[in-house]
Amino acid sequence: MDHYVKPEVYYPDDDIEKVKEQGVLKYRSERLPTWCPGCGYFGIETALTNALSSLAIQPKDLIMVSGIGCMGRYPFFVRGYGMHTLHGRALPVASGAKLARPELTVLALIGDGDGLGIGAGHLPHTIKRNPDITCVLFDNAIYGLTKGQTSPMTPQHQVTRSHPLGNPDPKMNPILLALSYGAGYVARGFAGMPDQMQVLFEQGIRHKGFSFIHIMSPCVTFDKVNYLYDNLRSWVRPLPPSYDSTNLDKAFDIARGEELFTGLIYNKTA
């Protein structure tokens, strides 16, 4: 994987022309990613760094705050300021960073177990306060780091390591939650569709206020039945060009519907 080879030259100074010229290379950190080969998180990382590059956001103007889980390692692999916090705490820490340094681009990176389960209390409260941060939900519908237990996004009846007789609970609906608490920018993507993800990340970062971007991402090591690349590819459908993302009622219909639409579901300021 050439993209992840430690760069020969490490640029301590941030030169905007070099950011544009080098694209994602500029965002390589000195640490190699430790995600499993094939993990969907590589696609998210690439799309997100491409978005930062295209917006010409320099690493010195970026802070990435993550919770606990495999996705929590993201700030180690990407250049910029970073903080690896506790479950769900990416959101209050990111809010504090934005309050203290409003000029920074602040990303809050949460997992489905981390941000919707163990640390879920922070999400609705952060959404209703509407800080200008971009929250990316790395949803692999499983606990990856701890080796395959049921998460709040695991479908009902799925057999997992923590539920050998099947998960008794229905899964959560993060898009519905984000809309219900008033998020002004709500989008959904799939880790196997980097171009669409990049556009969603760019729009989310540009949005003034809280942006919530739900990315479905395969855990190739511990989920052998649900979020497989082939499954997700056959389930997702881009929202039609005629879809009006400023219409909140339509956004709720999309959130409640059975179809897994990807794209910009709601944008208050569009």
Which residues form the interface with ligand SF4 (CB under 6 A)? 35-36, 39, 41, 70, 140, 144-145, 219-222
Q: Which is nearer to ligand TPP, 117 or 184 (CB)?
A: 117
CB of residue 219 vs ligand TPP: minimum separation in angstroms? 6
Q: How far is the C-alpha of 232 from the C-alpha of 228, rounded, in Å?
A: 6
Instruction: Measure CA of the first residue to CA of the last residue in the chain; give whole Å.
Output: 38
Identify the CA nearest to 64 among candidates 175, 51, 54, 227: 51
**By the rule CB under 6 A, 136 interacts with ligand TPP:** no
CB of residue 215 vs ligand SF4: minimum separation in angstroms? 12
User: Binding to ligand TPP (CB under 6 A): which residues in 193-212?
Assistant: none
Which of 33, 80, 88, 113 forms a contact with ligand TPP (CB under 6 A)?
Answer: 113
Other Cβ atoms less than 10 A from the Cβ of 245: the count is 20
- The amino acid sitting at 153 is M
| Binding at 221: pick from ligand SF4, ligand TPP, none (beta carbon under 5-8 Å per type) | ligand SF4
User: Binding to ligand TPP (CB under 6 A): which residues in 79-98?
Assistant: 87
Number of residues in contact with ligand TPP under rule CB under 6 A: 19
Identify the CA nearest to 181 among candidates 132, 230, 130: 130
**By the rule CB under 6 A, 48 interacts with ligand TPP:** no
Identify the CA nearest to 200 among candidates 47, 41, 59: 47
Joined together, the tokens standing for residue 96 give: 């504090």
| Binding at 35: pick from ligand TPP, ligand SF4, none (beta carbon under 5-8 Å per type) | ligand SF4
Helix axes 90-100, 122-129, angle to 10 degrees: 30
Which of 71, 187, 220, 265 forms a contact with ligand TPP (CB under 6 A)?
Answer: 71
Q: How far is the C-alpha of 97 from the C-alpha of 63, rounded, in Å?
A: 8
Identify the CA nearest to 243 among candidates 234, 258, 235, 253: 253
Cα-Cα-Cα-Cα dihedral sign, residues 95, 72, 205, 117: negative
Q: Which is nearer to ligand SF4, 144 or 174 (CB)?
A: 144
Q: Which is nearer to ligand SF4, 35 or 212 (CB)?
A: 35
CB of residue 226 vs ligand SF4: minimum separation in angstroms? 12
Positions in the binding site for ligand TPP (CB under 6 A): 68-71, 87, 111-114, 118, 138, 140, 142-146, 151, 219
